[in-house]
Structure 1
Amino acid sequence: MSEMSEMLRKMGLFGIGVISLTQEKAEEFTQEMIKKGEMSREEGKKFVRDVLSEQDKQLKDIENKINQTIRESLEKSGVAMREDLEAFEKKRVEVLEKNAEMRTNLDRLEKRLEILEKNTVMRVDVDVLEKRIKELEQIKQPMTE
């Protein structure tokens, strides 16, 4: 088990122990106060709920601090975080989509170029034919006269 895992395990066990201890002590204290007549049962129940609620808030605060410490440690170590991987994946998908779009545009341009080349060849052929017809007409004209 890694040092980090062991530390987290111990912290979890400590938290569970604190919760159990606090709940037991709060209930014992409440029972004593009820026996002495210094607190009603309803007040005792409310007191225990308040103690446990406050304890829950403190444990959440500790959990947040532990998570922040772990996050900072991971950032310092250079380990990629889930958010980093998700951002990378999103960027990769964007690049692939852009690449596909560029490939489609390139295919369209190649088809247009092919059509233009055919039209250019045809125009040259027409020009050559027209020139040849004129030459033939010029040759024919003196023959008919």
Structure 2
Amino acid sequence: PSDYMVEKMRRENMLLPINRKKFKGFKYYDKRFLNKSFDPGNKYSIPYFWGTLGIVYNDKFVKRSEVESWDQLWSSKFRDKILLVDSARDDFAFSLISMGKSVNDKRPADVQAAKAKLDALMPNVKAILD
């Protein structure tokens, strides 16, 4: 769950502590991702994944300079050529990033702006894949 959900579920007593005896891999986690304010000491949560969002392209058809930032995906050059992964979280994330916002932004105005920006991307989207 996201940091917000861990914090909320912890406050509402919806989580059980992690049994460290059953989880052997904790020692391998990078310290940067542990002991966050929403779960000090990682009593209820552990990092799941990090750094998986990106742009994949075939350099036979697209120059690197054409996809060096998220904002470039809105170029008319990519009309009906973009494939998206079916993940609202990831799609909103790159939309927010392209606007200079945090992927964890929850402000209604920013979320609405990110949705509007995604709507504007749709002419470039050929398909949304599972």
TM-score, normalised to structure 1, is 0.22
Select the structure with the greater relative contact order (CA < 8 A; seq sep ≥ 6).
2
Q: Greater Rg, structure 1 or structure 2?
A: 1
The structure with more helix, counted as a fraction of residues: 1
